Chain A
Amino acid sequence: MNFQEIILRLQNYWGKQGCIIQQPYDVEKGAGTMNPATFLRSLGPEPWNVAYVEPSRRPTDGRYGENPNRLQHYYQFQVILKPSPDNVIDLYLNSLRDLGIEPEKHDIRLVEDNWESPTLGAWGLGWEVWLDGMEITQFTYFQQCGGVDCYPVCAEITYGLERIAMYIQNRESVYDIEWVDGITYADVHHQTEVDYSHYNFELADVDTLMQMFNLCEQEAQRIAARHFPQPAYDYVLKCSHLFNLLDARGAISVTERTGYIARVRNLARLVAGEYLDQRKRLGYPLIKDEELRKDLIIDEEVL
C-alpha cells in the first residue's frame, strides 16, 4: 500500500463515518490541531465531524535530510469527532483494519499520553496508540481549548502518516516510503528537508522574523477587535510559526520563551472568545437537531 493510498483509504473510511473531508489549511502550522477546522470548531456546542490531511511544520526537528525518522515538515491525518461517540475506539481500530493492520496479529496498546498546547491554551487527556511498540496515533479527548472548557467534548485522532507508511511498507527510513509507484518520499521531500534545515537553523533573519511576529500580533489583535475571528486566527497561526522559527534559530532565550508563548496564547484566547460570540450570534447553525438545540440553549441559560 503506497503513501497516497493510505491517505485515500483513511479519507474514504472516515468519509463513510459521516466526516466532512476537508483539505489542509493554507497557513503554516505545527500540527493538525491548529487548523481552524479543529481549533475553532472544537469550541462551542455545535456538533462537528471532520477529517483531513495536514502538512505540519516543526522547524526544530529538521535534520538536513540525514535522520531516517525526523522531519521538519511531515503529514498528519486528523479526525475530529464532536461529540466523541461511545464507540470511538472501535471506530479507530476499524480504520486500522482498513489499512490492512489486523489488531489480532499485532500488539496494539493505548498508553497514557496527555496533550497540552501552551500556545493554544488547550489541553486534553488520552493516549498514544502503540503498534508493536511504535507510536502511530495520538488520541485525545479535548478538555479545554483557547482557555475555554470544551462542551461537548470532542475526540481528536491524529495519525502519523509517515510512521504508518513505514510500518506497512516495512521501511527503515522515511525517505524510502513509496509515495506512488516509482516515486519515493525522498523524491518528493528530501531536498526541501535539506533546504529548510539550512533556512531554519542558519539563514532565517532574526530581525526580520521578530518584526514579522510583532506585525502579525498587531494584525491579529486589530482584526479580532473588529469581530472577524477567522482572519484574525490566520495571524495567530503566523505568530506561532514565526515563534517556532525564531526558536529553531536559537534567537529566543529561556526567559523570553515564556513571554512569547504567553503572547501567542493571549491571541488564541482572544480569537476563541470572538469565535464563540460569533457562533452564538449566528444561532449555532450547525445544530440541525431542534431538540438538541433546545436542550443546549437551556443549558447555556442555566450556565
Chain B
Amino acid sequence: MARDLILEIGVEEIPSAYMGRAIADLKANALKQLNDARLSYKEIQSYGTPRRLTLFVKGLEEKQPDAVIEIRGPKKSIAFDQEGNPTKAGLGFARSHKADFNNLEVREVGGVEYIFVIKKEKGNASTAILPGILLDIINSLSFPKSMRWGYYHARFARPIRWLLALLDSERINIQIENIKSNNETYGHRFLSSGVLPVKDVQHYFQVLRENYVILDQEERKELIRKQVLDIAAAAGGRPMENEDLLEEITYLLEYPTAFYGSFSPSYLNVPPEVLTTTMIEHQRYFPVYDANGQLMAGFIGVGNGTDYSLDIVRAGNERVLKARLEDALFFWNEDTRKPLADMVTGLKEVLFHERLGSIMDKVERLQTLAVSIGEACGLSDAATLKRAALLCKADLVSSMVYEFPELQGIMGRYYAIKSGEKPEVSQAVFEHYLPRSAGDTLPATESGKVLSLAEKIDNLVGCFAIGIKPSGSQDPYALRRQAMGIVHIILDSGLGLDLAKLAGKAYDNFAAIETDSDRKNTISEVLEFIVQRMRGVLLERGYSYDLIDAALAVPSNDITDISNRIEALQDLRQSEIFEDFMVVYNRCHNLTKKWADDSINIKVLVDESEINLNRSFNLIKYDVYRDINTRNYLGACKMLAGLRPEVDDFFNAVMVMVDDVELKAARLGLLKAIANLYNLIADFSKIVV
C-alpha cells in the first residue's frame, strides 16, 4: 500500500533570495534519492516559507522491489588461465565483491565473455530506509552562504530548529545535531503559539492553514498579487509591475496582508526613480501609479499577519518611508546646489580598476574615443561628445548615487538638465550605460549611441589588455553583456564601423598603463569576443546557424556588413534563384576544392561551351565586384545564379579532368575564378540545403 510522506525542516528565517532554489533543490534531491533507492511514488512537491522547507511525497510505495544486481568483472580469458583455473585477477574480483568465485557467472557482452557477480538484493521496507534517505536529501541542500550555530558543526542557511517527518501518521526518526524529528510543527511566529502536534500528513496541511501559514509559495504569491492589485484599484491607481519584488515578498512572509500607505505629495518633486528605488529596495513596497502613469503619493506594503491592528503597521511604515524620503530630498537638494560639472574633479578619487586608473582617467579616455567613433560613423559632433563624456560619470560622486548606486546615469541626466546642459548631452549621460541588461532599451540619441559604444569598447579593451576575460560563469565585469550591447547598438542603427580600428584606438588610450597583452593580440581577442556575441544575437533574432557561419567565414571588422550579408543570404534562400545559385556554386566549388590557381589561359579553351561560360563570366565579373563593394549582395548573387545555363552546358559538353595539363588547368582556373567570386560573399559550402 502506498503512503504519503511529509518532511518539514523548521528553520530560523531563511534569506528570501535563497528560497526559490532551495525549494527546487529539495524536490530534485528527493527525486534522485528515491529513484536511486528504487522507491516509487506518485508525485513529489516541495514548498517553502521563511521558516520552513517542506517536502511532500504522495503515494510512496511501502517497500523497495527486490532487485538483482549484476556487476561485470574482467574478461573470462583474464579471469581463468589456460587450464580453466581462476587467475589472481579473477579471484581478486570475486573477493572485492565478497562473492565466492565458484558462484560467478560467465555472460556474453558484445561478443566477448566476461565474468559477473550476481547479487540478489531483498527490498527493504520504506520505513527502514527513509531515515537515511531524508538525511541525504537535507544534507545535499546547498546555499549561497551557509553557517554554523551554537556548539554544533552542521551547516545550513540558518539554524535548524525542528524537524517533522511523517509517513502517513507514522513518525520517521532522524536527527541533525540536537534536533530529533517529531510529529510536531510550529505555526506563524506571532499569530500562533507553541508546539502544534500533527496527526498525519493531511492534518499537517490543515494545522498550518489554521495557524496562519500559507505553505504553498505559488498560492502565497498569487494572494499577494491579488491583494496588491485590489488595494491599488481602491486607491484609484495601479501597482508597479515587478515580479522580482513580488517573489521576494512571497519569501519574506507566511501570511500576507497588503495595505495602502501614503506620503506627503511634496516628495513627488524628487525624481520618480529615486522614490521608487527607496520604496522597492529599502522597504519592499509597491509604488502606485495613477491613470496618467504618474507616481501617486502612496505605496502598498505587505505585512506578515492579519488585518488586526493594521493601522499601527501602516502608521509605522509611513513614518519610516517619510524618514527615507526626507533623506532622499536632502541628497537631491545637496547635489543640485552646484552644477554637475563641479563634481567631475572628484572622479580623480574614485578608482575604476587598480591597474586601469581612476574614473577621471577613464573619462579622459572616453572623450578621445567618443570623438573618434563619432567621426567614423558620422554621428553627433566633437563638442557635444566631449562634453557628454566629461559629465557622464560625474554623478558617481553625488550623495544620491552614493546612497543608491543603481541610480547612476539616471541621476546624472537629472543633474545635467538642472545644470542647463544641452538636452543631447544630458540624454547621452543617461544613455551611455544602456543597455544595462538583456532586453533593456538601447540608446536613442546620436551622442548616446557613440558614448555607449565608447564606454563599452574602453571596458572590453582595458580588461582584455590586463588579462581579465570572462571564463565559464565567471564574468565579474559583465563583459559579455557589454559586448552584446555593442552588437545591438551597431546592428540596430546599421552603423558601419571598423571595430579593429576602434579597438586599436581604445588600446592606444592605455599607453601609460602596463598591459599583459600586446596591441595586436588584444584587438584580435576583443574582435573575436564581439563576433561570438554577435553570433548569439543573430541566432536569437531567428537567423539559422548555417547562414550565420557562412557569412562569418568571410572575416570583417564591420559587423553591420556581416549582418547585411546574412540578411542577403536569408533573402536568397527564399528566392527562386536560390537553386540555380547553389548549383553554379557546387559545380564550380566541388571540383576546385584543391585547386588554388584561378588564372585562365583562354588560348587553350576549345569547346564552345567553355568559351561561352568564360565570356558570360567576364561579362558579370566587374558588376559582381561592384555590387559587393556597394554591399548589394543580393544583386551580386542574382548575376552569379544567372550563370546556371552556361555552367550546365559546360559540364554537359566537356570533361574537366582531361589529360591535357594546360587545358585542364584552364578549365579548373575558370571554375575556381567563379567560386572565388562566391567566396567574397560567404563560404557557401557551410550552407545546409
- Give chain A's interface residues, CB within 8 Å of chain B: 67-70, 83-86, 89, 103-112, 114, 124-125, 127, 131-134, 141, 143, 151-153, 155, 167, 172, 253-255
Measured between beta carbons, the chain B residues less than 8 angstroms from A86 are 150, 159, 161, 178
Q: Are A106 and B50 in contact (CB under 8 A)?
A: no
Distance of A254 Cα from B304 Cα, bound (Å) = 42
Distance of A106 Cα from B301 Cα, bound (Å) = 13
Q: Are A141 and B320 in contact (CB under 8 A)?
A: no
Measured between beta carbons, the chain A residues less than 8 angstroms from B189 are 103, 108
Which of B50, B147, B178, B303: most chain A Cβ within 10 A? B147
Interface flags for B481-518 (1: CB within 8 Å of A; 0: not) read 00000000000000000000000000000000000000
Distance of A108 Cα from B191 Cα, bound (Å) = 12
Closest to B153 in A: A151
Please judge, given known A-B contacts A105-B309, A133-B301, A255-B351, whether A125 and B147 are in contact too, CB under 8 Å.
yes
Distance of A231 Cα from B17 Cα, bound (Å) = 42
Distance of A167 Cα from B326 Cα, bound (Å) = 17
> At the interface, yes or no: B319 with Cβ under 8 Å from chain A?
yes
Q: Are B321 and A133 in contact (CB under 8 A)?
A: yes
Measured between beta carbons, the chain B residues less than 8 angstroms from A70 are 327
> At the interface, yes or no: B349 with Cβ under 8 Å from chain A?
yes
Q: Are B159 and A110 in contact (CB under 8 A)?
A: no
Q: Are A153 and B149 in contact (CB under 8 A)?
A: yes
> At the interface, yes or no: B312 with Cβ under 8 Å from chain A?
yes
Closest to B191 in A: A104
Q: Are B147 and A143 in contact (CB under 8 A)?
A: yes
Measured between beta carbons, the chain A residues less than 8 angstroms from B147 are 124-125, 141, 143, 153
Cβ-closest 5 pairs across A and B? A132-B316, A112-B15, A133-B317, A110-B13, A107-B303
Please judge, given known A-B contacts A132-B312, A254-B349, whether A172 and B17 are in contact too, CB under 8 Å.
no
Distance of A103 Cα from B309 Cα, bound (Å) = 11
Given A109-B252, A132-B312, 6 other A-B contacts at CB below 8 A? A104-B309, A111-B13, A132-B320, A167-B316, A254-B349, A255-B351
> At the interface, yes or no: B313 with Cβ under 8 Å from chain A?
yes
Measured between beta carbons, the chain A residues less than 8 angstroms from B323 are 68-69, 172
Count: A-B pairs, CB below 8 Å: 103
CB < 8 Å neighbour of B319 from A67, A107, A155, A172: A172
Closest to A295 in B: B151
- Give chain B's interface residues, CB within 8 Å of chain A: 12-13, 15-17, 50, 145, 147-151, 158-159, 161, 178, 189-191, 252-253, 283, 301, 303-305, 308-309, 312-313, 315-317, 319-323, 326-327, 330, 349-351, 354, 358
Q: Are B303 and A254 in contact (CB under 8 A)?
A: no
Closest to B155 in A: A143
Q: List 21 A-B contacts (CB under 8 A).
A: A67-B330, A70-B327, A83-B151, A84-B149, A84-B159, A86-B159, A107-B303, A107-B316, A110-B50, A111-B252, A125-B145, A132-B315, A132-B320, A134-B316, A134-B320, A141-B148, A153-B147, A155-B149, A172-B319, A172-B322, A254-B351
CB < 8 Å neighbour of B313 from A132, A153, A254: A132
CB < 8 Å neighbour of B304 from A69, A83, A109, A127: A109
Q: Are B150 and A143 in contact (CB under 8 A)?
A: no
Q: Are B253 and A109 in contact (CB under 8 A)?
A: yes
Distance of A46 Cα from B242 Cα, bound (Å) = 48
Which of A104, A133, A152: most chain B Cβ within 10 A? A133
For the complex formed, measure the closest distance between the CB of A177 and the CB atoms of chain B, giving whole angstroms. Answer: 14
Distance of A105 Cα from B310 Cα, bound (Å) = 8
Which of B158, B321, B350, B358: most chain A Cβ within 10 A? B158
Distance of A70 Cα from B16 Cα, bound (Å) = 29
Please judge, given known A-B contacts A85-B150, A153-B148, A153-B150, whether A104 and B190 are in contact too, CB under 8 Å.
yes
Please judge, given known A-B contacts A134-B316, A134-B320, whether A127 and B349 are in contact too, CB under 8 Å.
no
Measured between beta carbons, the chain B residues less than 8 angstroms from A111 are 13, 16, 252
Distance of A68 Cα from B320 Cα, bound (Å) = 12
For the complex formed, measure the closest distance between the CB of B685 and the CB atoms of chain A, giving whole angstroms. Answer: 54
Distance of A127 Cα from B15 Cα, bound (Å) = 8
Measured between beta carbons, the chain A residues less than 8 angstroms from B145 are 114, 125
Q: Are A68 and B326 in contact (CB under 8 A)?
A: yes
For the complex formed, measure the closest distance between the CB of B152 and the CB atoms of chain A, giving whole angstroms. Answer: 8
Measured between beta carbons, the chain A residues less than 8 angstroms from B190 are 103-104, 108
Q: Are A152 and B151 in contact (CB under 8 A)?
A: yes
Distance of A172 Cα from B151 Cα, bound (Å) = 42
Q: Are A107 and B304 in contact (CB under 8 A)?
A: yes
Which of A105, A107, A132: most chain B Cβ within 10 A? A107
Measured between beta carbons, the chain A residues less than 8 angstroms from B303 are 107
Measured between beta carbons, the chain A residues less than 8 angstroms from B315 are 132
Measured between beta carbons, the chain B residues less than 8 angstroms from A133 are 283, 301, 316-317, 320-321
Measured between beta carbons, the chain B residues less than 8 angstroms from A110 are 12-13, 50
Q: Are B50 and A254 in contact (CB under 8 A)?
A: no
For the complex formed, measure the closest distance between the CB of B514 and the CB atoms of chain A, giving whole angstroms. Answer: 16
Closest to B315 in A: A132
Distance of A255 Cα from B354 Cα, bound (Å) = 7
Measured between beta carbons, the chain A residues less than 8 angstroms from B150 are 83-86, 152-153
For the complex formed, measure the closest distance between the CB of B392 and the CB atoms of chain A, giving whole angstroms. Answer: 19
Closest to B190 in A: A103
Q: Are B305 and A107 in contact (CB under 8 A)?
A: yes
Distance of A105 Cα from B304 Cα, bound (Å) = 11
For the complex formed, measure the closest distance between the CB of B355 and the CB atoms of chain A, giving whole angstroms. Answer: 11
Distance of A105 Cα from B301 Cα, bound (Å) = 16
Distance of A134 Cα from B283 Cα, bound (Å) = 8
Distance of A281 Cα from B253 Cα, bound (Å) = 48
Please judge, given known A-B contacts A114-B145, A254-B351, whether A134 and B319 are in contact too, CB under 8 Å.
yes
For the complex formed, measure the closest distance between the CB of A42 and the CB atoms of chain B, giving whole angstroms. Answer: 13
Closest to A63 in B: B330
Distance of A69 Cα from B178 Cα, bound (Å) = 43
CB < 8 Å neighbour of B317 from A67, A89, A103, A132: A132
For the complex formed, measure the closest distance between the CB of B386 and the CB atoms of chain A, giving whole angstroms. Answer: 25
Measured between beta carbons, the chain A residues less than 8 angstroms from B178 are 86
Which of B151, B189, B304: most chain A Cβ within 10 A? B151
Distance of A131 Cα from B309 Cα, bound (Å) = 14
Measured between beta carbons, the chain A residues less than 8 angstroms from B351 are 254-255
Measured between beta carbons, the chain B residues less than 8 angstroms from A155 are 149
For the complex formed, measure the closest distance between the CB of B413 and the CB atoms of chain A, giving whole angstroms. Answer: 25
Distance of A127 Cα from B11 Cα, bound (Å) = 14
Measured between beta carbons, the chain B residues less than 8 angstroms from A114 are 145
Which of A104, A132, A172: most chain B Cβ within 10 A? A132
For the complex formed, measure the closest distance between the CB of B274 and the CB atoms of chain A, giving whole angstroms. Answer: 17
Q: Are B327 and A69 in contact (CB under 8 A)?
A: yes
Distance of A299 Cα from B70 Cα, bound (Å) = 44
Distance of A83 Cα from B330 Cα, bound (Å) = 43
Closest to B16 in A: A112
Closest to A152 in B: B151
Distance of A143 Cα from B150 Cα, bound (Å) = 11
Measured between beta carbons, the chain B residues less than 8 angstroms from A151 are 148, 151
Distance of A125 Cα from B301 Cα, bound (Å) = 26
Please judge, given known A-B contacts A112-B15, A125-B145, A253-B349, whether A106 and B319 are in contact too, CB under 8 Å.
no
Q: Are B316 and A106 in contact (CB under 8 A)?
A: yes
Distance of A110 Cα from B13 Cα, bound (Å) = 6
Distance of A131 Cα from B322 Cα, bound (Å) = 15
For the complex formed, measure the closest distance between the CB of B249 and the CB atoms of chain A, giving whole angstroms. Answer: 10
Measured between beta carbons, the chain A residues less than 8 angstroms from B253 are 109
Please judge, given known A-B contacts A89-B12, A172-B322, whether A105 and B159 are in contact too, CB under 8 Å.
no
Q: Are B321 and A112 in contact (CB under 8 A)?
A: no
Measured between beta carbons, the chain B residues less than 8 angstroms from A84 are 149-150, 159
Which of A103, A110, A151, A172: most chain B Cβ within 10 A? A110
Distance of A85 Cα from B159 Cα, bound (Å) = 11
Distance of A80 Cα from B416 Cα, bound (Å) = 49
Measured between beta carbons, the chain B residues less than 8 angstroms from A108 are 189-190, 304
Measured between beta carbons, the chain A residues less than 8 angstroms from B161 are 86
Closest to B161 in A: A86
